[in-house]
């Protein structure tokens, strides 16, 4: 009989199935002392892997746009804050391991320091709500843009 997962283990599975890095998912789930080791230990458990596979198969039914919006709305900004508050320069390898999905812009102003802008979580939530209610289809605006572009190109050809 499979062992029941703890709340922290279920959170880890949920975060990991969303496409996060194992260390970050472990930290967000509450394994804060040694998240890298905790992640490796968790991924070694068959119950954890089974739950992750189940959650991933559920998420495959949703569109990439919906998954991206969900990640913008609920994703962690901890790595961006780690970069902002870091007192010493981080190596390229350390920066490469950080998750900046929710970051829209990073600037270093002339006066020094670091400026980080994040995507708007409320707008992402509004879009998710519209997708969930069927008001908006993720492909519709893209298809409309393609159609409009094709119409403009054909009009330019007629003018020549």
Q: Which two tokens stand for residue 125?
A: 């939530």
Residues of the chain with pLDDT under 70: 1-2, 61-62, 134-147, 154-160
What's the pLDDT score for residue 129? Answer: 86
CB atoms within 10 A of CB 134: 7
Q: How far apart are CA 42 and CA 143, in angstroms?
A: 42
What's the pLDDT score for residue 88? Answer: 84
What's the pLDDT score for residue 116? Answer: 93
Q: What pLDDT digit, counting tens, does each position of 111-125 carry?
A: 888 899 999 999 999
Q: How far apart are CA 114 and CA 61, in angstroms?
A: 39
What's the pLDDT score for residue 93? Answer: 83
Contact 61, 17 (CB under 8 A): no
What's the pLDDT score for residue 1? Answer: 46
CB atoms within 10 A of CB 109: 8
Q: How far apart are CA 1 and CA 160, in angstroms?
A: 74
Supply the pTM of this predicted model.
0.49
Give the contacts of 59 (CB within 8 A, at least 6 positions apart).
17, 18, 67
Q: Which two tokens stand for residue 36?
A: 């890298």
What's the pLDDT score for residue 34? Answer: 87
Q: How far apart are CA 122 and CA 99, in angstroms?
A: 20
Q: How far is CA 122 from CA 81, 118, 127, in A?
A: 20, 11, 9
């Amino acid at each position: 009989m499979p062992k029941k997962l703890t709340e922290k283990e279920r959170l880890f599975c949920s975060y990991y199935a969303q496409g996060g890095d194992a260390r970050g998912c472990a930290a967000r789930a509450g394994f804060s002392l040694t998240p890298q080791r905790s992640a490796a230990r968790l991924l070694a458990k068959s119950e954890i892997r089974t739950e992750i596979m189940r959650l991933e198969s559920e998420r495959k039914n949703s569109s990439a746009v919906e998954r991206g919006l969900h990640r913008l709305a609920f994703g962690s900004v901890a790595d961006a804050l780690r970069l902002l508050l870091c007192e010493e320069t981080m190596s390229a390898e350390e920066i490469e391991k950080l998750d900046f999905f929710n970051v829209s812009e990073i600037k270093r102003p002339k006066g020094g320091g670091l400026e980080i802008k994040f995507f708007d979580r409320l707008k992402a939530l509004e879009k998710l709500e519209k997708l969930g209610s069927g008001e908006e289809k993720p492909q519709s605006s893209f298809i409309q843009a393609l159609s409009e572009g094709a119409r403009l190109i054909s009009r330019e050809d007629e003018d020549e």
